[in-house]
Amino acid sequence: MSNKIEPTEKTSLKRIPNRGNFDREVINSILDEAFICHVGFVANGQPFVIPTAYGRVGDEMYIHGSAASRMMKSLADGIDLCVTVTLIDGLVLARSAFHHSINYRSIVIIGNAEMVTGEDEKRKALEAFTEHLIPGRWNDVRQPTELELKATIVLRLPISEASAKVRTGDPVDDEEDYSIPVWAGVLPLALKAGEPIDDARLDPSIKPQEYVQRYKRF
């Protein structure tokens, strides 16, 4: 598959198009670093935007949820959906209130999801969800039972109509504002893991695995 995703009328950036990016490597890297996506869809004339976890395998995104979920049942019917993912990298502090901004990386994916019916692919998707959150975890924990698989809907969404939008760098002030004596620049932000907290019912002899103790997000 091409390293570029061809822009469409739906994914072409209308405002500040120079921030747009259609490289698969960039889009995949944002998907792999973020935890949560927001899924937008319309069901029975009512718009919804639902936050949920996800996983990626190759050029496909997987979403999962309860078989009783309104979102999952609606999306399984193949209705149009829009998925967004956003990472915040810093606060951009300008000399004027108007030009304050945020350094970010975001993605929009447009398409139609398809229900995963094969058990092997379903397990592969659930493994992707787990490994997306914390690599190395899947092989240490109990695998899903047949009952758990039946109670879960997994949807597959091709990453074929998508775009990324990225802002980096300094604030851009009006020329006459550069003489204002106030600090301006970027305040970096990052996700940082704290110390692991034991489950109240954990055997005290069991210590966190190395991938828990040394966890960091890219």
**What are the tens digits of pLDDT across the range 61-117?**
999 999 888 899 999 999 999 999 999 999 999 999 999 999 999 999 999 999 999
pLDDT the model gives residue 2 = 66
| Nearest Cα residue to 90 out of 169, 170, 186 | 186
pLDDT tens sequence across 27-43: 999 999 999 999 999 99
- Evaluate whether 159 touches 27 at the Cβ level (below 8 Å): yes
CATH superfamily of the 17-192 domain: Electron Transport, Fmn-binding Protein; Chain A (2.30.110.10)
Query: In this model, does residue 1 exceed pLDDT 70?
Result: no
Residue ranges of the domains in the chain? 17-192
Task: Report helix, strand or coil for 181.
Answer: coil
Residue type, 100: H
Identify the band that residue 149 occupies on the pLDDT scale cut at 50, 70 and 90.
very high
Tokens 């996506």 map to which residue?
37
**185-188 and 162-167 beta bridge pairing:** unpaired
